[in-house]
Structure 1
């Protein structure tokens, strides 16, 4: 049963913005944001906003460390419009006095949190990879070639965290679920629709194995006939370099890199990818990196644990056949 939203002034408390997909299912990155929020103490509230947030709210209530879940359901939340969700978060913060607001460093949260920061007149610190204290954070700059330590004097800290750097929070909680305060629809923007790519493969950001292709594959057909069979044999997610996306070989939701998705799987196979800084920023934290390229001097080999200098059109079918 949902309880009414209550106002409680808190010291060193945190509010986590959870993310759900189009079907209302909780995204794994939300669990990593909860884990990051635990660095600020044991008082963790989580808000989830969706057309129907009930299922996700119940899932969040069972997460260890969560003290309460605020469920915001309504047509105005469909599509995660920042002009609607940000005012919701502001109202919760003003009413409850939370000191830290945390979200995953995904397009969803990184669209909402800067607007919230403007509404609260504080800074937004993005892509946090380590929390040193309640006011000090580490984040990568220059495409990950340097790490900046940032200290915030703002009374409210708003941060987005890289899910790959924080272990997901585990099951074992029994938090109360409450109705979030009501906010009106926005007159500034409306959710019109979206086109989603359906796939049986693991979601790229949370896959334990990733096979990624570059411009050297030369066509969409090559991805389908050469790279996808290997990924399917491994049970891996499929990614791509920015060059492959820009060339139109694959949709942009498959892009790995600084301007794409950040991944850190157990196994990352880079196929026909040269290793530009933009791409390395999105995958260099992978546990084991395998590079396949005809150019022995390609930068990708500098970060690879294993390298194969061979034509991908010969190497991949042979690998697939032997699996």
Structure 2
């Protein structure tokens, strides 16, 4: 009986010690979290999808130190940087890459920029929105940094535990990232609501110019910007829309597709066609 009691007491002590170690490791990880958010901007303002990425950074850890990366050129870039500096209480720094090279969302130069910023900043997390730009950039930048990205995150349980859809969205999967830093992830902006908390007037993050000397080393350009063709509409962008109306072969004719567009306008939704 004495030996059994001693064994039981030892097991309980080891259990408490193991639990304490896990708790300590979790708290240490939260304290060491620092996040780089790759932000998009338009018209001198940070896009709503990037503000949702800031909300995701807050979900990772309340003590998160967040840097916001903006690229482009001209007055609109610097206006967007001013907006970013006061966009969220967690924003610790706004990094600005001012060059015509980043005026358009080409993944090749942006991936080199992201690698350079990460190597100098040593961030634990890198977040981009699941927009066409983010989906194009993140895998390329992750390959340059030799890590595996976690895509389409819809919820964050712990700094390295995420929920993402699988099987065309028919199931949700909880995944744990076990790789090296940085943990690179794209988030679905509709799953993270931007903060409505008012910023104190004195809380404005510093704006820092990014060292672009690495551009001299990138001699080969595998892509070039041609033009952008888009249709002006008052309906929300598909990536940020809370309601999406879709139609496919069942509508059968172009006249019936007009019904889809009329319904989308009534609901204030994004319209999407499948053929």
Instruction: Please identify which structure carries the higher helix content.
Output: 2
- Alignment of 1:55 with 2:73, yes or no, is no
Partners of 2:157 and 2:255 in 1: how far apart? 47
Aligned to 1:312: none
Aligned to 1:32: 52
The normalised TM-score by structure 2 is: 0.76
Q: Which of the numbers 233, 236, 249 marks the counterpart of 1:199?
A: 233
Query: Is 1:47–1:180's contact at 8 Å kept on the other side of the alignment?
Result: no
Deviations 1:204-251 (A, max 9, x none): 333454443333333334333x343444344x1331242xxx3xxxxx
Query: Is 1:126–1:160's contact at 8 Å kept on the other side of the alignment?
Result: yes
Partners of 1:179 and 1:220 in 2: how far apart? 50
Q: Which of the numbers 182, 185, 188 marks the counterpart of 1:156?
A: 182
Aligned to 1:252: none
Query: Is 1:88–1:181's contact at 8 Å kept on the other side of the alignment?
Result: no
Query: Is 2:50–2:129's contact at 8 Å kept on the other side of the alignment?
Result: yes
Structure 2 unaligned blocks of 5 or more = 1-30
Partners of 1:230 and 1:109 in 2: how far apart? 29
Partners of 1:209 and 1:200 in 2: how far apart? 14
Deviations 1:137-176 (A, max 9, x none): 1211111222222222222100111111111134525211
Q: Which has the higher contact order (CA 8 A, sep 6+)?
A: 2
Partners of 2:169 and 2:243 in 1: how far apart? 22
Equivalence map 1:1-323=2 (5 Å) = 11-21=32-42, 23=43, 25-38=45-58, 39-40=60-61, 41-52=63-74, 53-64=77-88, 65-153=90-178, 154-170=180-196, 171-172=198-199, 174-182=204-212, 183-184=214-215, 187-224=221-258, 226-234=259-267, 236-242=268-274, 246=275
The normalised TM-score by structure 1 is: 0.65
SS of match in other structure, 2:50: helix
Aligned to 1:290: none
Could you say if the C-alpha distance between residues 42 and 75 of structure 1 is closer, same or farther in structure 2, counting changes exceeding 3 Å? same
Partners of 2:169 and 2:241 in 1: how far apart? 21
Could you say if the C-alpha distance between residues 227 and 155 of structure 1 is closer, same or farther in structure 2, counting changes exceeding 3 Å? closer
Q: How far is the alpha carbon of 1:201 from its aligned partner?
A: 2.5
Partners of 2:244 and 2:172 in 1: how far apart? 25
